[in-house]
Structure 1
Amino acid sequence: MATSTQQAGTPGSGAPRTDDGAWRCAPYPALVVDDRDTVRRANDAAEALFDGTCAGRPLAEVVPDWLLRAHLAGPGARAEAVRGPVGDRTFEAHPSTTDADGSVVWWLVDDTDQVLAQRALRLERERTAFLTQASNRLLSSLNLDRCMDATAQLAAEHLADAALVVAPVSGHRLPAVECVRGGSPVRTLQIADPHEVPGLGEALQGFPPVPSRWIDPAAAPGWVVPEGFGEVGSIVVTPLPGHGVPAGALILLRRTGGSGAFSEEEEVFARLFASRAGAAMSAARLYAEQSAITETLMRELLPPVLHQVAGMEFAGGYRPSQDTERVGGDFYDVHPAAGEGEASLAVLGDVCGKGLDAAVLTGKIRNTLHALLPMADDHQRVIDLLNGALLNSHHARFATLVLASAVREEESVRLRLSSAGHAAPLLVRADGTVEEVGTSGTLVGAMPRVPTRTVGATLAPGESCVLYTDGITEARGGPLGDAMFGEDRLKAALAECAGMPAEAIVERVQMLASQWVGGGRHDDMAVLVISAPKTAPQAAPRVARQSTGARTSESEPSSKTARPLMNSRTRGRLSA
């Protein structure tokens, strides 16, 4: 026996009976439409939905257009359910044909909750995709200006009709980027009080945003509204959170009569976007600050640009172990003489290790030597004090170096050379002879005492003294890639540099060592050349240098202590 519900029918249950009380009281709105497109019967739910008596009226006067079109489409097109709005609700209409006279019964099911859920899900997916796209774009660059431009453009395209990104106050000025939907970002610098815009001053300090409904659009100052934008209908001001300090603020504008005022849900979404934009801008600003600090410190660690000092030629060259690095463990310096007739001090050294750690110790050694300039005449004293400074530091590294005091005497240059564990300097004579200076000593920073031997030498016009680090002689390369450049190749190369200026000798040595290494790995390479010019010296300007106390005098060993190693007859070209 059929139940009353089965007799009344439900959507999709087939031909229902429309002449009983159960059908009239069914919870689903139902209409019976005859073949003349007239509503023959309607249950109570249908009459409540369509505001009044439906029976006897043409279908076109009762139902909305979407349902009328579905009915008039004919029997074949009525096989599928259709969906559309009725007032502020959404219904799904299911047709069924009666067996008796061919009338059509339309059952309407309230589908509003499902439609809203689907719409909310679609909106959430779109917003999630937008936030992902925005994050990728914002984080793809660590340039603050580009981050601000991208923030303004993304906000204008997806959140509002126009957007203004305001950076933290710089004095009495507000750096800002404005963008209108469909336009390009425009950078501005406003001289204005941020408190003119309700909530902007607080947002720039990182306080929570003021609700949009509290902001009167008419109170917005002219500098906030882009030129030609029109009347502002709604404003949102939200902070751009950063790392510890706010990265700025975001102002969103909508025109009157457009998408309407910002809803609370849209304000929440704007804050989600602002949090990502603020993080990207803060990271870019932090990177810029760190880069500026690094650049400042790096300038102090870079080898100096050398030139002629007191009638003597000085030239240096440096190549770090990694092409991506600018500093390392090798260093050189030239300190001009304090007065006429006094010696200038040149130093070349090599710190154990590579990269930034070695560069830090390099900077300490250079600063220490600069502080010891007043006693530069006493090489042993300078080396002892430097050794003590390194032993008392937290660095567990050592260094080797060569000190060279040079003074111009008429057309020649008189040298005093002291080595602390470093390779002996080489003298390039005018006839191509290469001599090794017999100075020696112990490396600094490892032992309590550093005994050294100071040796004197004299350079005639056109002759040079070459100081170099082991990165030159120990550079591995050649035909098989495993042979060291070696001292013999270096001396042979220098023999061919007789009479060359200091800069030319440096370039020649660096070029040959680099060609020998090729693309292989290598240590830091540094070369320092002191030359006696062939021409008569010009009067050199007096260079002041702080000096305290008396200078310690040393006896000058004869230049005969430098022993010849190669002359013009024995020198040859480089061979592997």
Structure 2
Amino acid sequence: MSALTPAGTGESLQIPAPVLIRAALEATTEGVVLCTAADGIVLFANAAARDLAPELTPGQAVPFTGDSFRTTAGGRHVYGMRRRLDDGHDAWFLRDHTEETEHAAALEVERARSAFLAEAGQRLSASLHVRRCARTTAELAVTHLADAAIVVMPGGTGGQCSWIRLSPGHAPEEGTLAARMLTEVPGLSEALDGFPPIPSRWLDPGQTPGWLFPADLGPVGALLVTPLPGNAETAGALILARLGPQSAFDAGDELLARVFAARAGAALAAAMLYQEQVDTTAVLQADLLPPELPQPEGFELAASYQAARDSLRVGGDFYDVLGPTPGGSDTVIALGDVCGTGPEAAVLTGKVRQTLRALRLVDVAPESMLTVLNQALLQSGRRSRFVTLVVGSVQRVEHGRVRLRLASGGHPPPLVLRTDGTVDVVPTRGTLIGVLPETVVTPATVELSPGELCLLYSDGLTEARGGPSGDEQFGEERLHRQLAGCLGMPGAVVVERLRQLVSDWLHGGPSDDIAIMAVRAHTRPPLSLRGGGAPNASPYLVSARRGDRRSRARS
């Protein structure tokens, strides 16, 4: 030990001997290298420094330049920093950053996987279309998991599975796969049956059939097949392939693929369930939608229906036309309004229409139809639901006139547009259908001269709220006035004009169901085919056809 007296004190401190300093430097876990400042010749390197940089040799120049460095050697990440000790000596401090670097890399991988799964959840939930959802699954898989991907979905027609494939250099491809071909792909049958995925290392890519991927992709180096879990059963299977002989799926890749497959399977299952509901709704709606109107000889029929909910297309208002029975000559028309809107009202609408059709087969009069229908609704047990309804029989009489016998059950009375422009109210009234044990119906008979029109409508037309204030009803007075302005128009034009007027009145706001039907007597007796005209032709159409013939004659 040597003595040293600090300035300003009378005490002396003992400085450790060089051997003790060397022992302290050897004991530290941080690498320390002492070298000359001029040429960087190594004077001393402790054990930690020699372990990180074995090329350090006393008497040789240090292999570092600058004031700091980062390097990778022997699978380790080393960081070094130089500090000046005095005018003649420098010190390098070395640290092993391998663990920190690996943690940072793992964190970055986890962040990338979390971002991928977040993107997958967002894109997969954006659509309930089955094919679009399957294609999105394949696109995400090719972008983040593999070089090529195939989504296989069971349940096709004839036992066939449908598939969507994305591969490098090829546009998205779709097709079907016979059930017998499933066993040709390793692990595919098990995945479609809902078994846990087989590890990639157990699947031999060389056993994949030639039709699975395009031939120009080259050899498949790694294959992974995982199920797409659905609701109680699998929604399909995901086939992932990586190209090249050295490619592989590690445990992290397989775990990520399983998590992604769970999300994709849930999205596919939801899309499939939605498609089933759409198909079922379409089948049920087919018999609830307004019928295509016939055009009986001697008069014209026109109608319009607009549901309160456009997405449903059916609701509480309805109209129907029942043709003549084998022994009769009259046509029965009906227009009604079931209490409420939406599916429940649509179901009751179907029940009312079917009851009317059954009564028509036994040739029941309109007022009797309402009486029987009232009993049928009361016996159904749904007292909270009732119907307002107008039923009428339409019959041609002499000189081109049309006779209507109309019966109303709590419904707005029909209107008649006469040839002089006046609007008459048909004096028929009655009690609501489905409320009281006994119905009181007062039928009325009206006759239409050629060109006159009878209008049936639901209260959704007159109670439509809009106009300048946004809350004013369209009203009966306005309806009468607008109907009078339709003098001489064909029935279809009258219906369309009223429908458009109410639509403009609403300004796109909410409305109730609206049903409109017009019965119009032809302006002249039907022309025979022998005379060159079309039966039941409107005078507008007849004049147009004559103009066409004159144009052709001039040309």
Question: Is TM more than 0.5 here?
Answer: yes
- Shift of residue 18 of structure 1? 8.8
Offset from partner CA, 1:120-168 (integer Å, 9 cap, x none): 1111111111111222122222222222222112211211122122222
Partner of 2:386: 398
2:78–2:94: 8 Å Cα contact kept in structure 1? Answer: yes
Q: Deviation at 1:336?
A: 0.7
Pairs within 5 Å for 1:550-569: none
Tell which deviates more after alignment, 24-33 or 187-196.
24-33
Query: In the alignment, which residue of structure 2 is the partner of 1:454?
Result: 443
Does the 8 Å CA contact 1:153/1:184 hold for their aligned counterparts?
A: no
Q: Hey, what's the Cα distance between the residues in 2 that align with 1:520 and 1:147?
A: 34
User: Does residue 72 in structure 1 map to residue 65 in structure 2?
Assistant: yes
Query: 1:198 Cα deviation (Å)?
Result: 1.7
Distance 1:409 1:539, change over 3 A: farther
1:524-535 correspondence runs (5 A): 524-535=513-524
**Uncovered stretches (5+) of structure 2, i.e. residues with no partner:** 3-17, 530-555
User: Contact conserved, 1:318 with 1:525, CA < 8 A, in 2?
Assistant: yes
1:199 to 187, 205, 210: 187
SS in 2 for 1:303: coil
Q: Partner letter of residue 529 of structure 1?
A: A
Contact 1:157/1:182 (CA < 8 Å) preserved in 2?
no
Deviation at 1:175, TM superposition (A): 1.9
Work out whether 1:408 is the aligned partner of 2:410: no
2:464 maps to amino acid: A
1:101/1:513 Cα in 2 relative to 1: closer, same or farther (>3 Å)? Answer: closer
Alignment match, 1:290 = 277
Query: What secondary structure, in the 3-state scheme, does the structure 2 residue paired with 1:491 have?
Result: helix
Q: Which amino acid aligns with 1:149?
A: R
Determine the C-alpha separation between the residues in 1 that align with 2:466 and 2:88: 101
Which residue identity is paired with 1:201? S
Could you say what secondary structure the match of 1:301 adopts? coil
Q: How does 1:327-342 map to 2 (within 5 A)?
A: 327-339=314-326, 341-342=328-329
Structure 1 residue 417 corresponds to structure 2 residue 406: yes
The 3-state SS of whatever aligns with 1:530 is strand
Q: Which residue of the other structure, out of 18, 22, 36, is the alignment partner of 1:20?
A: 22
* CA apart distance, 1:487: 3.0
For residue 254 of structure 1, what is the aligned residue in structure 2? 242
Give the secondary-structure state (helix, strand or coil) at the position aligned to 2:443.
strand
Query: AA paired with 1:240?
Result: L
For the Cα contact (< 8 Å) 2:462–2:473, is it kept in 1? yes
Q: Which amino acid aligns with 1:23?
A: L
Q: 1:173 aligns with which of 160, 168, 177?
A: 160
Partner of 2:512: 523
CA deviation vs aligned residue, 1:27-57 (integer Å, no higher than 9, x gap):
4444444555554444444555556894455
Instruction: Classify 1:484/1:99 alpha carbon distance in 2 versus 1 (closer, same or farther; 3 Å).
Output: closer
Match of 2:464 in 1: 475
Tell me if the contact between 1:380 and 1:451 (Cα under 8 Å) persists in the aligned partners: no
**Separation (CA, whole Å) in 1 of partners of 2:117 and 2:169:** 19
- The answer as to 2:216 corresponding to 1:223 is no
User: What is the CA–CA distance in structure 2 between the aligned matches of 1:99 and 1:344, rounded to whole Å?
Assistant: 117
Alpha-carbon distance in 2 for matches of 1:516, 1:151: 46
> What secondary structure sits across from 2:337 in the alignment?
strand
Q: Would you say 1:210 and 2:198 are equivalent positions?
A: yes
**Contact 1:341–1:407 at 8 Å: present in 2 too?**
no
The SS at the match of 1:228 is: helix
Which of 367, 373, 387 is matched with 2:374 structurally?
387
TM-score, normalization by structure 1: 0.80
Q: Comparing 498-507 with 343-352, which one deviates more in the overlay?
A: 498-507
Secondary structure of 1:126's counterpart equals helix
1: CA distance between counterparts of 2:469 and 2:140?
56
More RCO (CA 8 Å, sep 6+): 1
Aligned counterpart in structure 2 of residue 91 of structure 1, from 65, 68, 78: 78
CA–CA distance in structure 2, aligned partners of residues 106 and 483 of structure 1: 89
* Residue in 1 that maps onto 2:350: 363
Instruction: Give the conservation status (yes or no) of the 8 Å contact 1:402–1:417.
Output: yes
The residue type paired with residue 384 of structure 1 is: T
Counterpart CA distance in 1 for 2:290 and 2:348 is: 14
From 502, 506, 517, the counterpart of 1:513: 502
Q: Structure 1: which amino acid aligns with 2:25? A: W
Residue 142 (structure 1) aligns with? 128
Q: How does 1:142-161 map to 2 (within 5 A)?
A: 142-161=128-147
Moved more, 211-220 or 494-503: 494-503
**For residue 340 of structure 2, what is the aligned residue in structure 1?**
353
In structure 2, the partner of 1:375 is 362
- For residues 172 and 399 of structure 1, do their structure 2 counterparts lie closer, same or farther at Cα, with a shift above 3 Å needed? closer
Instruction: Note if 1:301 corresponds to 2:318.
Output: no
Partners of 1:52 and 1:434 in 2: CA distance: 111
- Per the TM alignment, residue 354 of structure 1 is displaced from its structure 2 partner at its CA by 2.9
Report if aligned partners of 1:361, 1:395 keep a CA contact under 8 Å in 2. Answer: no
Give the TM-score normalised by the residue count of structure 2. Answer: 0.83
What letter is aligned with 2:272?
Answer: R
Q: Residues 356-387 of structure 1: CA distance to partner in whole angstroms, max 9, x if unpaired?
A: 33323222212222232223433343222211
- Which amino acid in the other structure matches residue 139 of structure 2? Q
Provide the C-alpha distance between the structure 1 equivalents of 2:463 and 2:433, rounded to a whole number of angstroms. 21
On the 8 A contact 1:310/1:336 being kept in 2, the answer is no
Q: Does 1:241 align with 2:234?
A: no
Deviation at 1:177, TM superposition (A): 1.8
| One-letter amino acid of the structure 2 residue matched with residue 374 of structure 1 | L
2:308 equivalent to 1:315: no
- Provide closer, same or farther for how the CA distance between residues 221 and 322 of structure 1 changes in structure 2, counting only shifts above 3 A: closer
**Contact map agreement 2:391 2:408 (CA 8 A) in 1:** yes
Pick closer, same or farther for the CA change 1:323–1:200 going to 2, 3 Å.
Answer: closer
Alpha carbon RMSD of aligned pairs, Å?
3.0
Shift of residue 294 of structure 1? 2.2
Residue range with higher mean Cα deviation, 91-100 or 156-165: 91-100
Unaligned runs of 5+ in 1: 3-15, 60-67, 541-576
Q: Which residue number corresponds to residue 490 of structure 1?
A: 479
User: Given the superposition, is the C-alpha separation of residues 223 and 98 from structure 1 closer, same or farther in structure 2, using an over 3 Å criterion?
Assistant: same
**Residues 178 and 226 in structure 1, CA contact (< 8 A), matched pair in contact too:** no
Q: Is the 8 A contact 1:407 1:415 kept in 2?
A: yes
Displacement of 1:346: 0.5
Describe the shift of the 1:98–1:382 C-alpha distance in structure 2 as closer, same or farther (beyond 3 A): same
Structure 1 position 288, deviation (Å): 2.1
Alpha-carbon distance in 2 for matches of 1:26, 1:523: 86
Q: Does 1:271 align with 2:271?
A: no
Matches of 1:181 and 1:481, distance apart in 2: 58
